[in-house]
A and B are shown apart, each in its own frame.
Chain A
Amino acid sequence: MENTLLKKNNSSLISRVLKSKEIYFLILPGVIWYVIFAYVPMYGLSLAFKTYKANLGIFGSPWVGFENFTYVFRDPAFLESVWRTLWINLGRILFQFPFPILLALLLNEIRMNRYKKAIQTVYTFPHFLSWIIVSSVLINSLDMQGFVNGVIQLLGGDPVNFLGNTQIFRPLLYITDNWKSAGWTMIIYLAAITGIDTEQYESAQLDGATRFQIMRYITLPGIQSTIVVMLILTVGNLMNAGFDQIFNISNAATAKAGEILDIYIYRITFQSAADFSFSSTVSLFRSVINFALLLFADRVCKWMGAEGLFPSMKKKARS
């Protein structure tokens, strides 16, 4: 019985793939990219258990067991950076994750197409600026002699140390990342909204639903599965807290507040004598935690009634 179900399920998978072959063809470059640049280099992770010798290569370098892990856990800065990364990213989920959803819902309510496109372009544009440019503008605007403090002083206030204050550092990360990325992420939700059956909107309008009710009871549930997928992917990425942004915005005064795991890895890899085994160890640790978090988030979503990333085969077979 089970075999028959699986067989049926497999054949339905193949037929589904064939049915949507254009979409799967579009995925192909991405899959190839992942195989070449994400899966093949994974053999380098073995460096975490070796002492890297450039002349011997990754395969030929001698094994040292868990010695590198001993060094990693001896450094208190490592565990501090792990916790800091988690805290910064939890803040991102709280303050950044909902923002593009809200933006997409609001933009969807704009009826004038030209205006809608203009707004969308304005919100999307910052994504194309590198963090080097954004941070340069930010530093020049917010430093003690910058534009913002100039205005504050003009109004009779005292200059504010925006860039050296560790209390302001995290909000600054969230605000700037929201400004830079929210418009881009919004595109995913806008695309999901366009997939919602328009008949539902027409029926609701006929039933006299207000625009807020339509947003609340049709649009939002319509993109729920996209939100769940995005949330799971975000949670699975909790140990990556945005190296480019923090590297460019932080300074000596905020160095500790901004030392996330990626910055820690950068520091031990490039700011002292090269130790590729040591940095591979930290990277492996980060990947394992990310993977565990991804599975955890998937479980929690399923437990809360959502589908999660990997719906079980049994459920699919039954359905």
Chain B
Amino acid sequence: MSLSVNKLAKSVSLVLITAMLMLVIAACSNSNNESAPPSTAPSSQSSATPNPQSSEGDSDWKPQSDLSKKVKFSYASVQGIEGFDYNKGDALAQYFSDKFNYEMDVASLNWDNWSERLRIWINSGDMPDVAVYNYNHADAAAFVDQGMIKKFPDNWKTRWPNVAAVFDKTSIGPQMEHTFGGTYFIPRARFMNNLPGDPLPNHPSLFLRKDWAEAVGFPIKTTYTTSEVMEFAQKVKDQDPGKAGNKLIPIAENTTHAVDLFVARNSTHFNRFYMDTDGKYKWGGASEDTLKGLKLFSEAYRSGLLSQDFYTVKNEEHGSYFNVKGIAGATFFQAPTSALQQFYDDFQSNTGLDPYENLQMATVLGDDGNYHQYDLINYWGAIIFSPNIKDDVFERYMDILDYNATLAGNTILNMGIKDVDWTYESDGTTVKSLYDQAKEGKPLGGTSGKYPSMGYLLGSTILFDDFAFDNPNSDKRLRDLSKQLYTERTKVATPESFAKVNWDLFSFDSPNFRRAQMDYYTEYANIVTQSGDIETNWNNWVNSKKSIIQPVLDELNSKLGS
């Protein structure tokens, strides 16, 4: 017996030693799962609009902090370039760090870890001095309640009026100020002067091969219903006008955009609870509109109109099937004004075709002929401060934000250095570009651009969408087209199909409500790719969610319903 015990002891020792060695070796060679590539900075066309109500330049603008005293602070944001020196890495970064006399320690987060990492930092009381936060109301309410982020001083709006003007424009800013009884978040405005509508439409659009459409006899329009898009795809599949052969993808999408194209375009509340016309709260997942969209989605997938492995497409690669490889008939893709120039340039350089002649951009409507969307709300990401931030650092950063919300600051942030990259026309307000990309051989911004630091990392409350409408660095035809698409969406909609934000619902929170949140994009794609009848699959899915959805509906109807 003792022999076998010894044998066992030997075995256990052997296992333990080997396991320990494994641990040591693994620790030395461990590859980091979070080593996703750094996010790219916005392109040279990425700009934000100046605020005409704010002071226009250095002469009018007065700092609230003592700029002669250098401050150091830590800063976390998505879209930064890993390892880039945002203090002296390029002339633009140098300009701002000199002007505001700061040294910034940047933590560049990527899309995958942004929310998660920031949430952990905040919860552990270890957040950087300044951070760009992906606003989530349930979390935000908990942060405010527990004092995990800084409350702004009561007089901040009079001290930093340019930031306050942007704050008011976001609509969510004042709403949350009211909800929380003070200011904790500075939402960043998508639009200032060129707000295309209220509710605010989103930018993703249909890109369609105009030359292929003409070849198969499909009408060229600026709006198509989902079924019309499928009709075009069927014609392309049958006739293969581009001679792409077995590489042809009639509609190229990833999971998110496939759901956006088929489900979201037919069902306004596909991913949320909503108040119906009868005053009762309902769940969008169980709505007939959602089923309608899923049926179209399923039909497109099963008939081979949609890329057969759309769910394996990472990030935004599906766009490249259209404008780089030239093997897709259409794609529903991101279309912020600032990104169009690059998309068109890529199309031209890769396919050798003139994009203005061979590419059609359009709005996709539901099969009822209406544009479906829930109010985008005029913001994206909010600036928050650590509760432990020193007053002088807080004031300095607010100075940076305030200056960059002026015409001068905003233009520098988006177009580069004055009299080097741009100047004013004789009227003193219209901006004229001095930057010649062809001559310079690189774009103005972006990782490989003249100013990799260009963009939000240098401190901005105004995003590039609005300025892009007037940015002289991109083709006027694209700017006009983009404006037209935004505007059209507000016109081809009803108040029900294009719903304004319900602030009661937006600020609602409960344990049941939190636990009923889900990734609708994955859920819908999963339903569609399952075998069997789509309606049966959907019914099964709705029933499987009942136990977590019903308590929320009960709460909403008892507390907010009419």
Contacts and interface: CB of A to CB of B under 8 A. Distances in A.
Contact of A319 (B2, B511, B521): B2
Contact of A74 (B17, B35, B308, B548): B548
Contact of B10 (A56, A144, A195, A267): A195
Nearest to A163: B312
Nearest to A273: B138
Contacts of A230: 15
Given A132-B33, A252-B529, A319-B1, A273 B514 contact: yes
Interface of B is mostly: helix
B14 A252 contact: no
B287 interface: no
A159 B312 CA distance: 15
Contacts of A318: 1
Contacts of A307: 4-5, 8
Contacts of A242: none
Contacts of A108: none
Interface in A38-82: 53-56, 71, 74-77
B558 interface: no
Contacts of B511: 71, 275
A114 interface: no
Given A130-B31, A145-B247, A164-B312, A253 B525 contact: yes
B139 A273 contact: yes
A35 to B, nearest CB: 14
Given A54-B146, A74-B548, A274-B119, A311 B529 contact: no
B139 A132 contact: no
A117 interface: no
Interface string B170-185: 0000000000000000
B18 to A, nearest CB: 5
A54 B515 contact: no
B116 interface: yes
Interface string B118-155: 01001111000000000010110010001110000000
Interface stretch (A185-193, A210-218, A285-293): A185-193
B64 interface: no
A203 interface: no
B560 interface: no
B17 A311 contact: no
B22 A184 contact: yes
A188 B35 CA distance: 30
Contacts of B29: 128
Interface in B286-343: 307-309, 311-312
B7 interface: yes
Contacts of B515: 71, 75, 268, 272, 275, 278
A220 interface: no
B255 A252 contact: yes
B544 interface: yes
B326 to A, nearest CB: 14
Contacts of A166: 530
Given A27-B20, A275-B514, A319-B2, A195 B529 contact: no
A155 to B, nearest CB: 14
B33 A252 contact: no
Nearest to B512: A71
Interface in A184-231: 184, 187-188, 191-192, 195, 225-226, 229-230
Contacts of A309: 12
Interface string A11-43: 000001000100100110110010000000000
Given A54-B125, A132-B31, A252-B522, A33 B23 contact: yes
Given A30-B16, A55-B147, A132-B33, A225 B544 contact: no
A311 B519 contact: no
A253 B29 CA distance: 33
Interface string B214-247: 0000000000000000000000000000000011
A143 to B, nearest CB: 5
B263 to A, nearest CB: 13
Contacts of A128: 29, 31
A69 to B, nearest CB: 13
B518 interface: yes
Contact of B312 (A75, A143, A256): A143
Interface of B: 1-2, 4-5, 7-20, 22-24, 29, 31-33, 35, 115-116, 119, 122-125, 136, 138-139, 142, 146-148, 246-247, 255, 307-309, 311-312, 511, 514-515, 517-519, 521-523, 525-526, 529-530, 544, 547-548
23 contacts: A26-B17, A27-B13, A27-B16, A30-B16, A33-B23, A54-B124, A54-B125, A55-B148, A71-B515, A74-B548, A144-B307, A163-B312, A164-B308, A225-B8, A226-B11, A229-B15, A233-B15, A251-B312, A253-B526, A255-B526, A267-B519, A268-B515, A275-B515
The list of the 10 closest CB pairs from A to B, nearest first, reads A319-B1, A272-B517, A273-B138, A252-B525, A130-B31, A55-B146, A253-B529, A252-B311, A225-B11, A54-B123
Given A163-B312, A229-B15, A253-B525, 18 more contacts: A23-B17, A29-B24, A53-B146, A133-B31, A163-B309, A164-B311, A195-B14, A253-B311, A253-B526, A255-B523, A255-B526, A272-B515, A273-B136, A273-B142, A275-B514, A275-B515, A307-B5, A319-B4
